[in-house]
Structure formats: C-alpha cells, structure tokens
Amino acid sequence: MEMTEPFATTTAAVAPVILIAAALEVASYHRAVQESMSRLVEQVEPEVTALLRLPADERRAAVDRLLENRGIAVSTGLLKTLARWVLGGFWAAIMMAQVFVTVACLGWLGNPRHAPSAHMAEACWIAVLGGAFAVATFPLYRLLSSPWVPVAERFLGAEIRRRLGRIRGGGTA
C-alpha cells in the first residue's frame, strides 16, 4: 500500500464522512438519553416532591423505598464507569485520528513534491478502518446494551444523587 493521489483524495474525503456519521450518532444517542431522562424525572418528581413534606428522619427511609420500588439504580459501579471512560477515550482517539488523516492527506496532496509513502498510507488506512469500525459498532453497542442497562443507571446517577442529597439533607430539590 502506498500513498498515491487517488488514495489520498479518497481518504481525505472518507475521514470527514466518518466524523459526520459519528457526530450524528452521538447527537442521536444524546437526544434519546435526554428524552428518557425527562420521562423518568416527570414520573418520579411528584413522589419526590411529596417526600419533602416528611420529617427528615422519615425522609431517608421513604427515599430508599421509592428507589427500590421504582428500580432506580443510583450508582453505575466502578467497572461500568471505567469501561465507559475507556470506550469514550477510544472513541475520542479514533475521531481525532480522522481529523489527522484529513489534514495529513490534504497536506500531502498540497505538496507539489510529495513522494509515495507506504507508512503514511498504512497509518491513514488503519485510522479510517478504526473510524468506520467505531461508527458501525456504536449503534450495535447501544442496541445490545439497552435491554439490560437502563438509561437511568447510565446517565441519571449523578442527578439523582444530587437531588436525593438535598432531600435527605432537608433542602429542596
């Protein structure tokens, strides 16, 4: 494999498409999470508001019962959190590689004395392959994990902890 004009031109065109597909996927995922979070908060908020009227010593037990009855997990767990950070870092690195590929290929094409470069072609090919893999597998990950990992467990943990902290402490949500 060598860096040639057709290869560099194609790669410089494909890498931004991968970035656009990734941005659309992330936006879609974010929108789905926000909608789920809104529905959950709408369902739980009347009950949480009612708990504010209880004396502080009864409030904690009532909040614990509410969480248990609703099946809301407040913590995501260390392993899940670590996995999300690792996967997020991988995703970010792969997407930054798409930027590198685009800039490198355009720079190579813009240099009138460019020479064929096997190393650059291989690096670009690996980055684009990784980007295509990431964009193709992220929706699959979402599909496979959604039945077993509720959205509340994934994204609402911090918000629920914050609100419950206020309720348990005697403040208002």
Q: What is the 3-class SS of 11-40, one letter each residue? A: HHHHHHHHHHHHHHHHHHHHHHHHHHHHHH
Dihedral sign, CA of 70, 153, 73, 143? Answer: positive
- The residue behind tokens 């670009």 is 124
What pTM was computed for the model?
0.60
Q: What is the pLDDT at residue 125? A: 92
Q: What is the pLDDT at residue 17? A: 92
How close are the terminal C-alpha atoms of the chain, in Å? 60
Q: What is the pLDDT at residue 90? A: 87
Full pLDDT tens readout for the chain, 173 residues:
888 888 899 999 999 999 898 888 888 887 877 887 787 777 777 777 777 788 877 877 787 777 777 666 555 567 777 877 888 888 889 999 999 999 999 999 998 888 888 898 999 999 999 999 888 887 777 666 654 455 555 556 666 767 777 777 755 54
Q: What is the pLDDT at residue 86? A: 87
Task: Check if the beta carbon of residue 156 is closer than 8 Å to that of residue 37.
Answer: yes
> How is residue 112 annotated by DSSP?
T
